[in-house]
């Protein structure tokens, strides 16, 4: 897949240069004993005298420490894509082909080319290589050293960090979805509202799952009459307390439906195949959720997922005033809330977001619309 559109940002030249200067300064600091003692040793040798032992020791120690620091920086750069300077300034190098670790060999080759250039053409050779991102093509910010090592220096403070596997997986999944045809509108269980696709109950399986279909498939089909239920006033969407200060609450346009109330409130989840799942108060959902001592007494909702994008026990659902609170339980492929504009807000492990009535949640690759469940809406009153 192309890496375009994933939210990757090239490192700004200013911070890139500052990171290099920080790394160079650190090497210079540990080399101070050698820098100070080296002239004494050379002077004594030129005069035919024996250099002072202390000067010899300080020279060896200073340059040995600087060499060790440079080697450690190259190793860490190859394995994690960062040096001390890059880490401090929110930058990371990645393999331009895989977005993974750059590799020790490639980083060492970059360093070797820089040293040779600075040696052959003192000062100017190294400066030209370091400034080459200025004339990099296609706004990638990749200079000549990046081309030599097949690396890419990214700004992970403002953009996506490819080493965050979960965020990268979600970004790629959303990019794939962006290039696919729009999903068929999910039938609405809300009472009233113009332009809604009415939900027509189909056959009920032995597992009590009702499969519905969209009424009025033909353009000139007769409209389906709504249940004879008094139209409530539009309900305000109230965000339930989040499980963490960093939890995101996404507020898609609320459906004009009544909100269930009380601890035994019931809700419905409707997937893209119009299969409905009932949430009685609170439940665990996944491919095959099992009772968890950390969540005693909760019902379980097993979803058939042939793609295995959902975890065995993926998330916890709580029916709250105005919607369903979704809490990710450390799922492999992540959970997210989707607002009415299609903006996806990933939910981190252990954090929560309230999905308002009529809103959508994503569990792995599966999407579910959330609705309040009344006896009239379920059709089993």
Q: Is residue 288 part of a domain?
A: yes
Cα dihedral across residues 26, 154, 248, 1: positive or negative: negative
Residues 115 and 239 both lie in one domain: no
* Of 111-120, 217-226, 332-341, the least confident: 217-226
Residues 345 and 282 both lie in one domain: yes
Give the mean model confidence (pLDDT) for residues 226-232: 41
Q: Is residue 221 part of a domain?
A: no
pLDDT at 184 over 80: no
Query: What pLDDT shows up at residue 18?
Result: 93
Q: Which two tokens stand for residue 368?
A: 């579910």
Residues 282 and 349 both lie in one domain: yes
Q: Is residue 55 part of a domain?
A: yes
Query: Using CA atoms, how far apart are residues 260 and 232, in angstroms rounded to an integer?
Result: 12
Q: How confident is the model at residue 125 (pLDDT cuts 50, 70, 90)?
A: confident
Q: Is residue 223 part of a domain?
A: no
Burial state string for 166-203 with b = 16 or more CB within 10 A and e = fewer than 16: ebbbbbebbbebeeeeeeeebbbbbbeeeebbbbeeee
Residues 137 and 208 both lie in one domain: no
Residues 38 and 158 both lie in one domain: yes
Residues 156 and 100 both lie in one domain: yes
Query: What pLDDT shows up at residue 91?
Result: 94
Q: Is residue 147 part of a domain?
A: yes
Residues 80 and 204 both lie in one domain: no
Q: Is residue 96 part of a domain?
A: yes
- The 3-state DSSP class for residue 196 equals coil
Q: Is residue 44 part of a domain?
A: yes
The number of distinct structural domains making up the chain is 2
Residues 262 and 153 both lie in one domain: no
pLDDT at 21 over 60: yes
Q: How confident is the model at residue 88 (pLDDT cuts 50, 70, 90)?
A: very high
Q: Where are the alpha helices (DSSP H) in the chain?
A: 13-30, 32-46, 53-80, 84-88, 104-120, 124-131, 144-149, 165-178, 375-378
* Of 162-176, 264-278, 334-348, the least confident: 162-176
Residues 151 and 211 both lie in one domain: no
Residues 124 and 59 both lie in one domain: yes
Q: Is residue 303 part of a domain?
A: yes
Domain of 119, in residue numbers: 13-163
Residues 28 and 131 both lie in one domain: yes
Residues 144 and 283 both lie in one domain: no
Choose one of 100, 135, 163: the last residue of a domain.
163
pLDDT at 52 over 90: yes
């Amino acid at each position: 897949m192309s890496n375009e559109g994933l939210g990757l940002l090239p490192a700004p030249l200013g911070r890139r240069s500052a990171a290099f200067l920080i790394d160079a300064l650190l090497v210079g600091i540990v080399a101070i004993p050698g820098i100070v003692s080296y002239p004494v040793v050379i002077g004594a040798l030129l005069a035919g005298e024996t250099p002072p032992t202390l000067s010899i020791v300080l020279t060896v120690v200073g340059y040995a420490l600087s060499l060790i620091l440079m080697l450690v920086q190259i190793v860490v750069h190859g394995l994690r894509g960062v040096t001390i300077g890059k880490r401090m300034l929110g930058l990371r190098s990645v393999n331009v082909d895989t977005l993974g670790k750059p590799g020790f060999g490639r980083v060492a080759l970059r360093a070797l080319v820089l040293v040779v250039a600075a040696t052959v053409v003192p000062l100017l050779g190294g400066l030209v290589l370091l400034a080459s991102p200025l004339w990099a093509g296609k706004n990638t910010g990749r200079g000549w050293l990046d081309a030599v090592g097949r690396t890419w220096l990214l700004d992970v403070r403002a953009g996506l960090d490819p080493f965050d596997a979960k965020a990268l997986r979600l970004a790629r999944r959303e990019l794939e979805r962006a290039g696919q045809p729009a999903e068929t509108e999910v039938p609405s269980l809300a009472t009233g509202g113009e332009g809604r696709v009415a939900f027509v109950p189909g056959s009920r399986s032995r597992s009590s799952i009702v499969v519905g279909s969209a009424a009025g498939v033909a353009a000139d089909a007769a409209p389906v009459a709504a249940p004879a239920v008094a139209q409530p006033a539009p309900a305000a969407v109230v965000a339930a307390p989040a499980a963490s200060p960093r939890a995101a609450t996404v507020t898609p346009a609320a459906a004009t439906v009544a909100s269930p109330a009380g601890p035994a409130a019931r809700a419905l989840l409707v997937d893209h195949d119009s299969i409905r799942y009932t949430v009685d108060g609170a439940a665990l959902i996944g491919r095959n959720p099992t009772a968890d001592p950390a969540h005693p007494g909760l019902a379980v909702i097993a979803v058939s997922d042939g793609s295995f994008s959902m975890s065995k026990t993926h998330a916890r659902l709580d029916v709250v005033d105005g919607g369903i609170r979704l809490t990710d339980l450390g799922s492999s492929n992540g959970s997210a809330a989707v607002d009415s504009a299609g903006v996806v807000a990933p939910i981190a492990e252990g954090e929560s977001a309230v999905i308002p009535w009529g809103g959508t949640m994503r569990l792995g690759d599966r999407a579910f619309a959330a609705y309040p469940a009344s006896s009239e809406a379920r059709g089993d009153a």
